Amino acid sequence: MKINRQTLTLYKSCLAFALLIPILFVTSCSEPLSDTTDGRLRYWISTLSSDEYEGRAPGTAGGQLTKNFISQTFQDLDLEPIDDNYFLDVPTSEITLKDSSYLTLSFRGNDRKMKTGEEVVFWTKQARDYRKIRDSEVVFVGYGIVAPEYKWNDYEGLDVKGKTVVILVNDPGFATGKMRLFNGKSMTYYGRWTYKYEEAARQGAAAAIIVHEEAPAAYPWSVVENSWQGPQLDLQRNDLGADRVTLEGWIRHDVLDDVLAFTGFNYESLKEIALEKTFSAFPLRGLTLSSEIFNEVRYLQSHNIAAMKKGSVRPDEYVLFMAHWDHLGMRPNALPGEDAIINGAVDNATGVASILEFAKRFSEVETDRSIIFLAVTLEESGMLGSQYFATYPPIDLAMVVAGFNFDGILPTGLTNDMVVVGYGASELEDLLEAELQKANRYINPDPNPEKGYFYRSDHISLAKRGVPMLYADGGFDLVVGGREAGFALEEAYRLNAYHDIADEYSDDWDLSGLNQSINVIYNISYQLANTSDWPNWYEGNEFRSIRDQSRAN
């Protein structure tokens, strides 16, 4: 079903009216759904990623339109809210760096004021109008990891209180490919930027700067520019973020290399040193960082949107579908006349459309167990919406039988495979494999484990609470074109559209692969919803003991 601009404008007008009255009001105007999955998916994806929705940033008019649209769809399908209404509060802070802010690197009196956006991107998660760092000694801490299970401690014997730590992206396994070093090319949680800032804060650092290099980061510098400039969102913290480092940021590796020329080091030599067994963090003598950060701080209420289809036999046992509804909004540095909207059609209008399709299908059948549909906020800010849901769940997470996460699904034709991110984790993979075999298809373990996708989407928040989660979507082995064509599509999206303005919906999209994936997951989830089975993480998995303990209580 093709959605024209007149239809979208009419729908926007209807939803915009709802903004004038309290947020708990759900709009009453919606368009009849197509009789086909393809038509429904196209309607949902094209609407959510339209310019009218302005990139779906939380705390904006486009974000409000998004929440209203999803909740209205749930209501139209006669699904129940989980907690009196479809909106689950997620208290949020928004910190916007003012143009008067600056970051300067100095070497023995010679100052270099860094070009924001072009050379560095920086911000603070401390919810204060003004923050200041003066002449902070710069220390190279390698990968910035403290991992006892890997016998690795980059901070051992080091006091970085008040200092600036410079950190390599990813983890040591990526650089060497050695399976005995962390997890080889497969990124561990220690390679994630979120962990590195958290660890720097635990160590007492004043500032933490991650060095961006495209291969180990798994995305180009443009992603850093678009993701970490403009308003930065966080959960509201009782301490106003005082437990975070004062300054978090990224620097381009070639820019750092240029700065290092004064110190007698270079970037390549630092990477080599960081991998030595005898590595010990050390100051880049003579190099200091100074910064003044001027902020605009405001507080807002974002929301996870949730609905449920009650089970008829075991209503207190749940099968969960989740996807994040938020995206990056508008480019803060766009010039007049330029396209400023980062529409997020793949990321993640496709995922939201998927859970809406599951909502449509399950609304028409009876199941023994209850089904929950959850669209979470603040994923782009560090998976904070799912983290908040997992920390303050409106249901008992021990009673969630299984969860399915949908995030960034590329539009492809039919595939011979389905990719499982974090393959080898849970018994849900056994159900998936059995279902795929019926059609002579197969599971494809994540072909890009070095990119750390398993730790970069919302399922991880619930996995940490023990809930068995499956993050699987379309494959790379296309029926027409094979693996070569599939990998070419992925690379083109990652390099040219991911977190950028090119991530837009087109009527030319082939959604047969997405439809195919939805059918498979629907079959196994329907099976789970009508049995008494309790799939678990595999023995030896890091989340198995958490699950076992939660089920025993």
CATH number at residue 70: 3.40.630.10
What percent of the chain has a predicted confidence (pLDDT) above 90?
83
Q: What is the 3-state secondary structure (H, E, C) of 36-102?
A: CHHHHHHHHHHHHCCHHHCCCCCCCHHHHHHHHHHHHHHHHCCCECCECECEEEEEEEEEEECCCCE
Residue that terminates a domain, selected from 249, 267, 297: 297
Is it the case that residue 364 has pLDDT exceeding 60?
A: yes
Residue 172 belongs to some domain of the structure: yes
Residue that terminates a domain, selected from 270, 297, 324: 297
Mean pLDDT of 110-129: 96
Shared domain for 378 and 499, answered yes or no, is yes
Q: Which structural domain, as residue segments, surrounds residue 491?
A: 5-80+310-552
Is it the case that residue 449 has pLDDT exceeding 90?
A: no
Is it the case that residue 144 has pLDDT exceeding 70?
A: yes
| Helix (H/G/I), strand (E/B), else coil: 121 | strand
Summarize pLDDT for 252-298 with one digit per residue, the tens.
999 999 999 988 899 999 999 999 878 999 999 999 999 999 999 99
Mean pLDDT of 59-78: 97
Shared domain for 102 and 218, answered yes or no, is yes
Q: Using CA atoms, how far apart are residues 149 and 154, in angstroms rounded to an integer? A: 14
Summarize pLDDT for 77-118 with one digit per residue, the tens.
999 999 889 999 999 999 999 999 999 999 988 999 999 999
Sign for the CA dihedral angle at 133, 115, 58, 327 comes to negative
Q: Using CA atoms, how far apart are residues 442 and 57, in angstroms rounded to an integer? A: 36
Query: Of 17-26, 64-73, 396-405, 413-422, which gets the smallest average pLDDT?
Result: 17-26
Of residues 553 and 123, more confidently modeled:
123
**pTM (2 d.p.):** 0.86
Q: What is the DSSP string of 451-495?
A: G-GGGSSTHHHHHTTT--EEEEEE-SSBTTTHHHHHHHHHHHHHH
Shared domain for 448 and 512, answered yes or no, is yes
Mean pLDDT of 23-43: 73
Q: Using CA atoms, how far apart are residues 352 and 306, in angstroms rounded to an integer? A: 12
Residue 375 belongs to some domain of the structure: yes
Residue 406 belongs to some domain of the structure: yes
Residue 87 belongs to some domain of the structure: no
Query: What does the pLDDT read at residue 455?
Result: 84
Backbone φ and ψ for 128, nearest 5 degrees, come out as -130, 150
| Helix (H/G/I), strand (E/B), else coil: 397 | helix
Phi-psi region of 84 (alpha: psi -120 to 50; beta: other; left: phi over 0): left
Shared domain for 186 and 255, answered yes or no, is yes
Query: What does the pLDDT read at residue 337?
Result: 87
Query: What does the pLDDT read at residue 388?
Result: 97
Shared domain for 383 and 452, answered yes or no, is yes
Shared domain for 110 and 164, answered yes or no, is yes
Shared domain for 71 and 103, answered yes or no, is no
Shared domain for 104 and 179, answered yes or no, is yes
Residue 148 belongs to some domain of the structure: yes
DSSP element (H, E) containing 6: helix 5-18
Is it the case that residue 451 has pLDDT exceeding 60?
A: yes
pLDDT band for 175, please (50, 70, 90 cuts).
confident
Residue 302 belongs to some domain of the structure: no
Q: What is the 3-state secondary structure (H, E, C) of 133-151?
A: EEEEEEEECCCCCEEHHHC
Residue 151 belongs to some domain of the structure: yes
Shared domain for 292 and 314, answered yes or no, is no
Residue that terminates a domain, selected from 248, 270, 297: 297
CATH number at residue 198: 3.50.30.30
409: exposed, middle or buried (C-beta count within 10 Å: 0-12, 13-18, 19+)?
buried
Q: Using CA atoms, how far apart are residues 234 and 326, in angstroms rounded to an integer? A: 13
Is it the case that residue 2 has pLDDT exceeding 60?
A: no
Shared domain for 283 and 412, answered yes or no, is no
**Non-local CB neighbours of 359 within 8 Å, separated by 6+ positions:** 73, 74, 77, 79, 307, 309, 321, 373
Query: What does the pLDDT read at residue 30?
Result: 60
Shared domain for 390 and 521, answered yes or no, is yes
Is it the case that residue 542 has pLDDT exceeding 80?
A: yes
> Nearest-CA neighbor of 300 among 351, 236, 255, 346?
236
Domain count, the chain: 2
The token pair at 89 is 């509060």
Query: What does the pLDDT read at residue 9?
Result: 37
Shared domain for 75 and 217, answered yes or no, is no
Q: Using CA atoms, how far apart are residues 379 and 179, in angstroms rounded to an integer? A: 30
Quick check: 241 and 125 in contact, CB under 8 A? Answer: yes
pLDDT band for 8, please (50, 70, 90 cuts).
very low
The mean of the pLDDT values for the chain is: 92
Q: Using CA atoms, how far apart are residues 183 and 172, in angstroms rounded to an integer? A: 9
Query: Of 20-29, 173-182, 512-521, which gets the smallest average pLDDT?
Result: 20-29
Residue 304 belongs to some domain of the structure: no
